[in-house]
């Protein structure tokens, strides 16, 4: 069975910091039953990394290159339906007492989940405990997806990627 997944932006930054980044990336790319999708808001977040120094410009370029290699030609398009679902998540999140404003990173986090739900992806990988994986946000996705007759993807963390793709010694 093919596992269709999307990585939150923070996953790529975490991967870049690993000593065995290339090996992990190679193993991800070689796994035929594991497809990581490209979604333009994620790539845009990577492009928006400030490049005030040579090191930060190099890091941004490394992240974008890694992102393109891992996602390959698996693209998911943003749409009015995904944007609408994102806004429904956010409205319900706020009604449940969510504290983060729309103009924070939560907008892109909710867009990623909406994209995954709308396209029937299996897993969203993220290490974002405050916004994307916060208790209130998870309740909002579940509630709205039930109303919209959509399946909420599973949420796994960065360490789950390492367990799956890092060579065990």
Residue with tokens 């916060």: 134
- What are the residue boundaries of the structural domains of the chain, listed by start? 3-165
Burial class (CB in 10 A: 0-12, 13-18, 19+), 55: exposed
Distances (CA, A) of 79 to 69, 82, 85, 102, 119: 24, 5, 10, 18, 11
DSSP code for 153: P
The CATH architecture that domain 3-165 belongs to is 3-Layer(aba) Sandwich (3.40)
Per-residue pLDDT of the chain (169 residues; tens, 9 = 90+): 899 999 999 999 999 999 999 999 999 999 999 999 999 999 999 999 888 888 788 889 999 999 999 999 999 999 999 999 999 999 999 999 999 999 877 999 999 999 999 999 999 999 988 889 999 999 999 999 999 999 999 999 999 999 999 976 5
Distances (CA, A) of 123 to 79, 84, 112, 126, 169: 20, 21, 11, 10, 27
For the entire predicted model, the pTM comes to 0.94
């Amino acid at each position: 069975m093919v596992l269709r997944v999307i990585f939150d932006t923070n996953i790529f930054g975490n991967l870049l910091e690993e000593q065995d980044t290339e090996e992990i990336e190679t193993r991800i790319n070689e796994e035929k039953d594991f497809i990581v999708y490209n979604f333009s808001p994620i790539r845009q977040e990577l492009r928006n990394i400030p490049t005030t120094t040579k090191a930060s410009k190099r890091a941004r370029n490394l992240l974008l290159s890694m992102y393109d290699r891992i996602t390959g030609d698996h693209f998911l398009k943003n749409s009015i339906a995904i944007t609408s679902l994102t806004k429904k998540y956010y409205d319900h999140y706020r009604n449940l007492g969510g504290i983060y404003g729309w103009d924070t990173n939560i907008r892109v986090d909710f867009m990623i989940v909406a994209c995954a739900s709308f396209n029937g992806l299996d897993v969203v990988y993220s290490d974002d405990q405050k916004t994307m994986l916060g208790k209130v946000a998870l309740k909002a996705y579940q509630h709205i997806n039930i109303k919209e007759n959509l399946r909420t993807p599973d949420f796994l963390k960065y360490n789950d990627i390492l367990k799956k793709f890092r060579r065990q010694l």
